[in-house]
Amino acid sequence: MTVHVALLGRTPWALVNTYYASVMRGSRPRAVYVITERRYSHFLPKIIKAIKEISRAYGFEPTIETRVIEDDDFQMADRVFRELFSKINGEEVVLNMTSGRKALVAAAIVQSRNCNLKEILYMALLDVDFPDRPYMMLPLHMQRLKNFLGDGYEH
């Protein structure tokens, strides 16, 4: 089984669309953890709803948990990710960093060194005129899904 760890920053669609792309490629996580800073926590209800809907459409229902870190609290981010990755305990981890802010991304990558990291995903949107659209409403050739632990770009 895999676990999906998604970092939420100021662009909720970036998180949702990267999750959608991952699921379309065959990922069926048993659990999804969404980590964000306090200033973006108001997005969490919509993010949770989107993850549930995408997952149900593909025939599975992961547990979903959230963690809220105080804004710009590097020590708290480090601690939360260390605890989360030790809790995951050997399962494969997909880290979705597309929407994450630098403090969260850095802490997640540093602390992930002690887990079974399968993918570090980043979705580049080549046409930024339409950032707030669902994955399937954006031309696939304008989206580049990069796995930083793999080779090259994928669609």
- Residues 120-149 have pLDDT tens digits of 999 876 666 665 655 555 556 566 788 888
Taking alpha carbons only, the member of 86, 88, 151, 148 closest to residue 123 is: 148
Question: How many domains in the chain?
Answer: 1
Whether residue 33 lies inside any domain: the answer is yes
How crowded is residue 125: how many other Cβ atoms within 10 Å of its Cβ?
Answer: 18
Radius of gyration of the chain (CA): 14
Whether residue 52 lies inside any domain: the answer is yes
Whether residue 76 lies inside any domain: the answer is yes
pLDDT (tens digit per residue) in 85-107: 999 988 999 999 999 998 899 99
What is this structure's pTM?
Answer: 0.89
The length of the chain, given as a count of residues? 155
Whether residue 155 lies inside any domain: the answer is no
Query: CA dist 120 to 43, 71, 85, 105, 139, Å?
Result: 22, 23, 14, 10, 23
Query: CA dist 57 to 24, 47, 112, Å?
Result: 10, 15, 29
What is the CATH number for 131?
3.40.50.10770
